Structure 1
Amino acid sequence: MRIAILSDIHGNLAALDAVLADITRRSVGITVNLGDTLSGPLQPAETADRLMTLGLPTIRGNHERQLLTQAPEAMGASDAYARARLAPQHMGWIAGLPETLSLTDEVFLCHGTPDSDLAYFLETVEPTGARAATDGEVEDRMAGCTAPVVLCGHTHMPRVRRLPNGQLVVNPGSVGLPAYEDDRPYPHVMETGSPHARYAIIEQGQDGVWSAELLTVDYDWDTAARLADEHNRPDWAVALRTGRMQGAAR
């Protein structure tokens, strides 16, 4: 069995289409989406239309929850831009998405961790910034999940971790946004260092053991960045062009 994993598309339709074309070229049978699908200053409605047609197994991220529960005046800029452009059918689609999903007995989907759409799974944020989580930290965040494969997103950082008990945790990175900054629980940046779209493929071998491959895909990120500039988001434009946050410490 081979499964393609998408996450954190953030309304970047050009990146999504490039990734979907790469998945088709590789003849992968199942594709899943781990959420944070629409929010951002790019093409939220068009991205929703594309995915609603495909009918991929999809879960909510924290941005889907925020679109459903926050008043527009309380939203951040990315959610507010998306909400103003989403039609009732788009909101209905979001409302019908589960928070987590057991795709099979062996593959579990979550956005952040099994019990939180905001917690980082494979990274830990300290006052000095973000670092890779230890095995012990990842195990503590499992919240009782015993699936052999756990798929997560949220941090936009592609990472694979096989725990001592054999569980495989995979974050495919972000399809649509290669860098961002946050202030929870301490100010930090998450940067991949290049503008490529990212996704992953997991595969179960004949011996039953799962493996993962992290993939990068070229697309027209300059056009996506110009769109962000046109929509008054120069921070996104820099991230889309470079995979870095402007002015961030290196």
Structure 2
Amino acid sequence: MKFAALSDIHGNVSALNAVLQDIAGQGVDFTVNLGDIVSGGLFPAETAERLLPLNFPTIKGNHERQLLEMPFDKMGLSDQHAFQQLQPAHWEWLRALPAELTLHDEIVMVHGVPGNDTTYLLEEVSASSVRPSSVTRVSDYVKHLDATLILCGHTHIPRLLELNSGCVIVNPGSVGLQAYDDDRPFYHKMESGSPHARYALLEKRHGKWAVEFRKVSYDWEEAANAARNNQRPDWVNALRTGRMG
């Protein structure tokens, strides 16, 4: 079994197209999508239109949940932009997505942690730093799951952790946005350090999961210019460099 895992596209259809082209040459059996699909400063409707016919196993991220549940005036700029652009077929698709999904009785897909789409699984944020999560902390979140592989997103940072049980946890990184900042639970920055679109290839060999993190070039200057034109100057440096300004 060999497959590709995507997450956090955030309406960056140019990055998505480049990743899909790369995946096409990898001989995968299927592709999965871990959410935060359309919200951002770029092309939400075009991204939904690109993905709809592909019918990938897909879950909601926190941004899909917010789009579907929050009043417009309580939304952030990314969700408001998507809300104004999406068409009826896109809304129907988003409403039907599950929050979590299990494939082949051993692969569990979550966006954040099981039962919570805004908590980081593989990173811990304190007042002074962002650091990789401990095995103990991650195990506490997933110990009830019967899985050999758990896929998560949300932090935009590619990361892998193997638990003492042998279960492997993988965040494939973000297709569409390589840096952001947030003030919850403390102010912090998440930065991949380059503008490349990210995803992961996963293959089960001799009963164990092998993981390859992929970086894909695309026209990030065009994406940065589109963000500026959509009144999102806060995205420009993140798209160009993979770092906050």
TM range (shorter): over 0.9
CA contact (8 A) 1:34 1:61 kept: yes
Aligned to 2:222: 223
Deviations 1:157-191 (A, max 9, x none): 00011111101000000000000001110000000
Unaligned runs of 5+ in 1: none
CA contact (8 A) 1:129 1:189 kept: no
Structure 1 letter corresponding to 2:172 = P
Aligned to 1:97: 97
TM-score w.r.t. structure 1 length? Answer: 0.97
Please say if 1:82 is aligned against 2:87.
no
Unaligned runs of 5+ in 2: none
My pick for the range that moved more, 58-67 or 230-239, is: 230-239
Q: Report the aligned-residue RMSD.
A: 0.7
Aligned to 2:54: 54
Matches within 5 A, 1:149-160: 149-160=149-160
Aligned to 2:212: 213
What is the alpha-carbon distance in structure 2 between the residues aligned to residue 92 and residue 98 of structure 1? 13
Aligned to 1:64: 64
How many Å apart are 1:129 and its aligned residue?
2.3
TM-score w.r.t. structure 2 length? Answer: 0.99
What is the alpha-carbon distance in structure 1 between the residues aligned to residue 106 and residue 210 of structure 2? 13
Task: Report the secondary structure of 2:90's partner residue.
Answer: helix
What is the alpha-carbon distance in structure 2 between the residues aligned to residue 127 and residue 217 of structure 1? 33
What is the alpha-carbon distance in structure 1 between the residues aligned to residue 182 and residue 144 of structure 2? 28
Deviations 1:19-61 (A, max 9, x none): 0000001121210000000000100000001100111110000
Deviations 1:188-214 (A, max 9, x none): 000011000000011001x21112111
CA contact (8 A) 1:15 1:175 kept: yes
Please say if 1:186 is aligned against 2:186.
yes
Task: Report the secondary structure of 2:166's partner residue.
Answer: coil
How many Å apart are 1:143 and its aligned residue?
5.5
Aligned to 1:107: 107
Task: Report the secondary structure of 1:141's partner residue.
Answer: helix
Deviations 1:121-147 (A, max 9, x none): 000000012110011111112151120
